[in-house]
């Protein structure tokens, strides 16, 4: 399996938009080919966020990153969110 972690700073507007659009985000990401799991979390004092997507392979996580970027550009208008720091890799322990 392949995992992608996206870390956002200055993300309170992003978190608010994701909470409002939870069902849309759920449908958008869960339909990625090879999708396994998705997590979104507020980090620190609430101005940072992280999302984790788990898919069967890198093609799936690449597609999730593409979809996430499009969704942010379309749904978080007027906010200055820095591009996420993206970290990804293959799993070596799962349970």
Strand arrangement of the beta sheet that strand 85-90 belongs to:
35-43, 48-55, 2-9, 85-90
Check residue 11 and give its pLDDT: 87
Global pTM reads 0.89
- Beta-bridged to residue 74, according to DSSP, are none
Tell whether the model's pLDDT for residue 41 goes beyond 80.
yes
Residue 77 lies in a domain: yes
The answer to whether residues 1 and 36 touch, using CB atoms and an 8 Å cutoff, is yes
Q: Mean pLDDT throughout 17-43?
A: 96
11-27 in b/e form (b: 16+ CB < 10 A) is bbbbbebbeebeeebee
Check residue 66 and give its pLDDT: 94
At 19, which CATH number? 3.30.70.100
Residue 61 lies in a domain: yes
Task: Give the rounded percent of residues in the chain with a pLDDT score beyond 70.
Answer: 98
Q: Domain range for residue 71? A: 2-90
The answer to whether residues 92 and 3 touch, using CB atoms and an 8 Å cutoff, is no
Residue 95 lies in a domain: no
Residue 85 lies in a domain: yes
Residue 60 lies in a domain: yes
Residue 66 lies in a domain: yes
Report how many domains make up the chain.
1
Give residue-wise pLDDT tens across range 49-94: 999 999 999 999 999 999 998 998 899 877 677 788 999 999 999 8
């Amino acid at each position: 399996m392949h995992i992608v972690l996206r870390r956002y700073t200055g993300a309170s507007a992003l978190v608010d938009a994701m909470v409002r659009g939870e069902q849309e985000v759920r449908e958008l990401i869960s339909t990625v080919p090879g999708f396994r799991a998705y997590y979104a979390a507020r980090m620190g004092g609430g101005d940072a966020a992280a999302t984790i997507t788990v898919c069967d392979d890198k093609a799936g996580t690449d597609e999730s990153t593409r979809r996430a970027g499009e969704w942010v550009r379309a749904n978080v208008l007027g906010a200055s969110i820095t591009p996420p720091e993206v970290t990804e890799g293959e799993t070596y322990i799962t349970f």
